[in-house]
Structure 1
Amino acid sequence: MSMVETKKHPEQVWTGHGYRIEPNKEHPRLYKVELEGWVVEQFLVDVKNISDEQLEYIPYQRLMVAKALQDLLDESFGETIRHILHDRLSGGFTVGLGGKDADAQDYVKFSTAFSHLAGIPNFDAMSKKYYARFSVKHTDDSDSYLRQAYRRFTLHTDGTYVDEPTDWLLMMKMEEENAAGGSSRLLHLDEWEDFEYFSNHSLASYPFTYKAPASKNVSEEVTRKTFYTWNNQPCICFIDQFVYPQTIQQAEYLQELSHSMEQSKAVIELELPVGDLVMLNNRFWLHGRGAFEQNTELHRELLRQRGRFVQ
């Protein structure tokens, strides 16, 4: 019997002061967080005087941004967000500003509120901040698939090449012009048809070496098992670009694993409007991006945060 047949999808609905959380129509395992319009408007007013510099230089200000959002809702909101991210049946949600007018720094503050309700973001060596902003355009000369618009960005988990836990991932769309294609591609580990085969393979727990390209500003090498146990449940750590096998047998295993995930019928494409974010448990969700259609005027800006849970 396949993993898809043995797992049930979440059906819970939460309602509270200023919000509603329900199953997402785009994916049966994701939730959709809907904030009432007045909440978003008041949140942006309440955090208006927290400057870019304060967010970057004073770590506790980031938590105060999270407090500003939670104070408008109720004490259980943050607990519910953390519960969803930990929940193996789900592990993810989408949320947005509901079309409210906002600038780039408003998006940073909004995403910061959610990341700090979940935990603490890791330092992002690429941007040298706790978050990264990057653009995808028609031309690119980078050394990874992150900014290359016309290639499929294959399914992977984040944090493979850093020596710190990466429990969750947040991605937010900040700007988009002349973009067709480029959808987020998502795969929940328990939906993957070949999960049991690859997780029980003789190389499943082999400590592969991961190295980052120069653009990531990380020079250390780390070793990671592809499959491991977290909270008594099997999880995955993988990205095809940065893993360095030592033998042909190891290379075949990794290639077959990646190909199987890319061909999985359980992969879904998620379209996020500008001002929306998706937050995922990075230990049992894989993510990637479809290729864009060619357009010389293509432009998309994304924001990324990734980090760890705290008690």
Structure 2
Amino acid sequence: MCAMSSTELNNRVVTSGKGYQIKPSPHHERLYVIELEKQVVASFFEDVGEISSQQLEYIPYMRFVITDKLASLLDEDFQKSVRGIIHDRNTGGFTVGVNEQTTDPEDYVKFSTAFSHLVGIPNFDAMSGNYYARFSVKHTDNSDSYLRQAYRLFTLHTDGTYVDEATDWLLMMKFDEQNAVGGRSRLLHLDDWDELNRFYHHTMASQRLVYKAPPSKNVVKEVFRTTFYEQNNEPCICFIDQFVHPENIEQANYLKDLSSSMENASATTGLELPAGELIMLNNHFWLHGREAFEENTGLHRELLRQRGRFA
């Protein structure tokens, strides 16, 4: 388990290319921020203006068409750089926004689709019946998971635990937010977790556990997964407390202690994501969650989620 030191992370270089700059995020030492020039963003939305989100939903190849529109406005190294960040164990994540060029949800769908398809192919999202899901967090909710429950802590987890296909990456984009105090994204990179070795080498770490989704996810199949696994000789994790079904007291105590340890890890940090920005993470070694909101009857947040496999 070889992680970069704080000094090495802080000394990462800034990369500039035609129409963009990639530099270390000021909000998290492992993340990058991609800054697109305003003219690039404006030109992208002009070039894809005749393409609707319905076309993207109905015609899969159109998703790559708009990805090519974005790539053609930048240099040939841009896609390599984006993929390089997501695959890099030491970072594995970035944020990028529309640079105040639009507030149209249609444009947000196009923008997020272009970035997801630079990296890979989104999985079918059974909850929405589409390749992406849009959902709101409001003052009241009667859902069967923490996803839409505003005033509960959404505990750290990885995505795709209850589906039988690879979930290599995760993308989340904020569309709109009103009367929201709190509710920051919570992030933990596996290599920053001070008790990783304790849980990774535990006898329970390699036991296959049952994952089952609640009715709202529209997935009825049970999936068996180990909590930890290796990729490129590095530990990776698959976990969400709501959907894992232990079969005995020992498994339950292991999972409870694991979740509690991550929640209380000093490296678990909050990140603000403004409307019009997205974050993309490697789902194998990043865990994410959400802080609770402060109660407000006018609370509204709308998000888009995509998750899928590498190209």
Report the TM-score, using the length of structure 1 for normalisation.
0.97
Q: Conserved in 2, the CA contact under 8 Å of 1:4 and 1:192? A: no
Q: Which residue of 1 aligns with 2:206?
A: 205
Name the CA distance, whole Å, in 2 between partners of 1:6 and 1:296: 41
Change in 2 beyond 3 A, CA 1:160/1:100: same
Q: Tell me the matched-pair count.
A: 310
Q: Which letter does structure 2 place at the counterpart of 1:143?
A: D
Q: Which residue of 2 aligns with 1:9?
A: 9
Q: Which letter does structure 2 place at the counterpart of 1:299?
A: H
Q: Conserved in 2, the CA contact under 8 Å of 1:4 and 1:190? A: no
Q: CA deviation at 1:186?
A: 0.2
Q: Which letter does structure 2 place at the counterpart of 1:300?
A: R
Q: Conserved in 2, the CA contact under 8 Å of 1:172 and 1:278? A: yes
Q: CA deviation at 1:6?
A: 8.9
Equivalences for residues 198-277 of structure 1 within 5 A: 198-277=199-278
Q: Which letter does structure 2 place at the counterpart of 1:44?
A: F
Name the CA distance, whole Å, in 1 between partners of 2:7 and 2:196: 13
Q: CA deviation at 1:253?
A: 0.2
Q: Which residue of 2 aligns with 1:162?
A: 163
1:159-201 Cα shifts (integer Å, max 9, x gaps): 0000000000000000000000000000000000000100000
Q: Conserved in 2, the CA contact under 8 Å of 1:62 and 1:112? A: yes
Name the CA distance, whole Å, in 1 between partners of 2:207 and 2:6: 28
Name the CA distance, whole Å, in 1 between partners of 2:66 and 2:262: 37
Name the CA distance, whole Å, in 2 between partners of 1:255 and 1:6: 30
Equivalences for residues 141-156 of structure 1 within 5 A: 141-156=142-157
Report the TM-score, using the length of structure 2 for normalisation.
0.97
Q: Which letter does structure 2 place at the counterpart of 1:293?
A: E
Q: What are structure 1's unaligned runs of at least 5 residues? A: none
Equivalences for residues 31-70 of structure 1 within 5 A: 31-70=32-71
Q: What are structure 2's unaligned runs of at least 5 residues? A: none
Q: Conserved in 1, the CA contact under 8 Å of 2:199 and 2:258? A: yes
1:125-155 Cα shifts (integer Å, max 9, x gaps): 0000000000000000000000000000000
Q: CA deviation at 1:8?
A: 4.3
Name the CA distance, whole Å, in 2 between partners of 1:149 and 1:102: 23
Q: Which letter does structure 1 place at the counterpart of 2:9?
A: H
Q: Conserved in 2, the CA contact under 8 Å of 1:2 and 1:193? A: no
Q: CA deviation at 1:4?
A: 7.9
Q: Which residue of 1 aligns with 2:120?
A: 119
Change in 2 beyond 3 A, CA 1:82/1:108: same
Q: Which residue of 1 aligns with 2:27?
A: 26
Q: Secondary structure at the match of 2:9?
A: coil
Q: Which residue of 2 aligns with 1:194?
A: 195
Q: Conserved in 1, the CA contact under 8 Å of 2:4 and 2:90? A: no
C-alpha root-mean-square deviation of aligned residues, in Å?
Answer: 1.5
Q: Which residue of 1 aligns with 2:105?
A: 104
Q: Secondary structure at the match of 1:124?
A: coil
Q: Conserved in 1, the CA contact under 8 Å of 2:79 and 2:118? A: yes
